[in-house]
Structure 1
């Protein structure tokens, strides 16, 4: 079955250029010109990945990203930002984007980013163990759902991959570069700020007090570590 990708870009030439390259790589593609149209297309097309430009007519990409996260927490979002707009990158990640690309970009890089996200989702579905339990958390592999004290917590695809890695690397201090390699892939081109933003978002979802995290510790000057706890891998 073809993976479905929605392209949200108001510049027709860029949009068509992306679409042609994705179709050549066997993706099923839909397109949207505006933020409003994007939200309608997500409802009807049900994409696995949304490639989302920030500057759009009507509601902007940031607002679309926020609404997608509220209504479709498992859809992957890759935001397109202008060169040099570091705050746009951070804002997009803070709102729940899984990744970003800076314009202009090589279409093969976009294909690689999409495949990386989809591959990690697929790996989660194919895991032999059905769940990882580290009290009070239970992470279900096939459904890619997280529960804390049996209460569900919505995770984005990237947050799921990030949390899964920490649970599997229990009590190991991991550098930001190592986290990038393990979760984003060794071929990922980006800075470690991406890791920090995703960690912050994950803490907001799993910690009782995100400003004083208990489970996901900072290893100052190095990276992060999951605090050792009771564990069980189910089958």
Structure 2
């Protein structure tokens, strides 16, 4: 197994599930770390390179949702897939608002988990209309910094975004002027297509609108009927030499 293979931290308090997932993920070419508590997760993300966390919602020393929120508050951008038995859409949306990147309900097929891991790790297909990766993007007086995963308002204040919100904003900044449908946004962010995730795109757009508006922006996202969403602001690359 290559040392460059993505390293996945599997977090579940059930030892059998941990062993099963660890074995299966290694067979699929991933490097694997395991943990059973919130405390172990916090220790491992500090002492190891972790490329993605598979996180159970119910843990013996706390909630996986709270842990997800804490990681995002501490500026961790490690992608997180929640393992959850929660059935209500609102519970899944709360997880998304806390910064989760995807969900998988128990019980699940390990093959689906691997597909979701690969989709989350994927940066999205390279298309002709995609602006080449840049360190920073300017839009409507704001600056989005890819390296620090931060957004600064025209007044120089930090705009607090979750990991999922920043990723969604970045998709629009990379494709200025493009109308992106919900299906395209799902493919580019998670590769999924469930109704829950489809509605979550609308939730993320709504939250981005609110947070950017509070930072001084007009409504920079246009809703295109039967089309999707479009970033209306002009996008610039401050570091690009012309």
- Normalised by the length of structure 2, the TM-score is 0.79
The corresponding residue for 1:86 is: 89
The whole-number CA distance in structure 1 between the counterparts of 2:112 and 2:92 is: 17
Distance 1:209 1:147 in 2: 9
Task: Indicate the residue corresponding to 2:165 in structure 1.
Answer: 159
Please give the alpha-carbon distance, in whole angstroms, between the structure 2 residues aligned to 1:122 and 1:34: 35
Secondary structure in 2 matching 1:100: strand
**In structure 1, how many angstroms separate the alpha carbons of the residues matched to 2:64 and 2:35?**
12
Matches within 5 A, 1:147-186: 147-149=152-154, 151-153=157-159, 158-185=164-191
- Pairwise CA RMSD: 3.1
Given candidates 13, 16, 25, the residue that maps to 1:13 is 16
| Distance (Å, rounded) in 2 between the aligned partners of 1:144 and 1:60 | 25
**Hey, what does 2:63 align to over in structure 1?**
60
Per the alignment, residue 133 of structure 1 pairs with 138
| Whole-Å separation in 1 of the counterparts to 2:124 and 2:73 | 20
Q: Paired residue for 1:197?
A: 203
**Which among 219, 223, 230 is matched to residue 228 of structure 2?**
223
C-alpha separation in 1, matches of 2:76 and 2:85? 25
Shift of 1:83: 6.0
Determine the structure 2 residue equivalent to 1:232.
236
Alignment of 1:106-145 (within 5 A): 106-120=109-123, 127=132, 129-141=134-146, 144-145=149-150
2:106 to 100, 103, 106: 103
Residue 70 of structure 1 deviates from its aligned partner by: 0.9
Residues in 2 aligned to 1:205 and 1:74: alpha-carbon distance in whole angstroms = 19
Contact 1:9 1:32 (C-alpha < 8 Å) held by counterparts: yes
Deviations 1:63-92 (A, max 9, x none): 111111111431111111116343331121
SS at match of 2:171: helix
Deviation of 1:152 after TM superposition, in Å, equals 5.0
Q: 2: CA distance between counterparts of 1:176 and 1:213?
A: 22
8 A contact 1:98–1:156 mirrored in 2: no
Q: Residues of 2 paired with 1:72 and 1:144: CA distance?
A: 8
* Superposition deviation, residue 105 in structure 1: 1.6
**Aligned residues of 1:217 and 1:226 also touching (Cα < 8 A):** yes
Q: Contact 1:6–1:30 (CA<8 Å) still a contact in 2?
A: yes
Query: Tell me, which stretches of 5 or more residues in structure 1 are unaligned?
Result: none
